[in-house]
Structure 1
Amino acid sequence: MYDYYLGGKDNFASDRAGAAKILEIAPNVPELARANRAFLGRAVRYLAAAGIRQFLDIGAGLPTQENVHQVARRAAPDSRVVYVDNDPIVLVHARALLQDDDRTGVVQGDMHEPEKILADPGVRALLDFSEPVAVLLLAVLHFVPDDAQARRIVEGFRAPLVPGSHLVISHATSGTMSEDDVREGAEVYRPVTAGSLDLRTPDRIEALFGGLELLPPGVVPLADWRPDPGDAPQPVHPGAGAVCGVARVP
């Protein structure tokens, strides 16, 4: 569905049907998907400039334009990236595209089991956790409806990170949607996710960074996180919203 929102071709009839229902409720979702992708690029460029050479992308989804390894290597050619997803179709597709890349890995894993992901031989073969690592949780935690579970997931991925590592989160919010629209949207996603949809408030999302050094400008709308020079201000359209943040392990 995310690929469909981005205008890609790596999606299926069921994805398009679900996406059509979401677009009836929140027609600005494609705009948010593009803003999320742009935030990913800015965040990875920032991290590479800060010296990060290792990236763990949780819930990466089908490869699309401007993936983490592509962005990181333009700034730092020695960057190593591991993509994690629980969808077998995603894994087959990504591995086929990246089979000749010995500095990029693709492993199967469920974000609800961070310890298993971190112990995976494919992760350990590429990432050295005695050195800083950036963990990316982009547009995935809103599928975890329980705050305690979301915190457990974040804390699980934080556990092995040494000082200088970073955590990157983006997360959908309800924006201007009514409670009825939020419930209807959650019902669309229920059959295709491991949980449900929880469009947390920015305060609840900021709490997920607890114990870390939240970098300026904090938890903000996607387009407001360190926009590139010359970026035009992004209009706020009615519908769903999304915020993001980057934090450093002190």
Structure 2
Amino acid sequence: MTAAVVARSGRSGLDPRTSVLLTVVTAAVVLGPGGMRFVPVAYALGLGLAFYDRARRRALALVVFVTAAWLLGWWVPARWPGAFTATLGLTGFYLLRYGAAAGIVAHLVVTTSPTGLAAAFNAWRVPRVVSVTLAVMLRFFATVAAEFSAVRDAMRLRGLTGVRGIVRHPVLTLERFTVPLIATSLRSSEDLAASATLRGMGSRRRATSLHPVRFGGADLVAVVAVAALTIVALALPPVLA
């Protein structure tokens, strides 16, 4: 059973409120002043969440990304000093920070359903105009990702993908990629709006959840792990400087 199905079934996984807090706090700390000290902590947390979700591809992508960003930001400028490599180093510097936050965001998007996110916001007494908007956005991103894969597969059948296809037909490739994606995105947004209306998300009465959100042992382990990693990051000298 995949992590997304488990999260939607409500039988296990982190509480949506824990996932939201981890996402917000990690992004604020890593992208803020002095955030490079906590970048290894964020990547360790992202890898831990990926293994917890049994998402091996996400864990591998994080490892590959952090390795490439480190090479681009530190190893290449140190090996070949110059203006161009300094620009590459600055690019790798920011990619490393944004990638650390993206690893936690990926966990939130994959494991949290729109209904779970809405239930979490209802438990926090968040205004419905905010909770409904974010819940629909979460579903919209997943729908766009699925449509992106479908359009890419259709273009592959027509030989318009890859470096050769883009070089031979650049305008045609752009047209046949963007037009279907925009059309399907608009249609999906209308369907999501109708679905939200049928679910009563525009009602003034507070909605109930089939699987009420509650904190569990996994949330306690996540909080303790984050606290321990933060203490280690503060006690040891910065790894990335």
TM-score (norm 2): 0.25
Structure with the bigger RCO (C-alpha within 8 Å, sep 6+) is 2
Looking at CA atoms only, which structure, 1 or 2, has the larger radius of gyration?
A: 2
TM-score (norm 1): 0.25
Q: Which has the higher helix share?
A: 2
Q: Which has the higher strand share?
A: 1
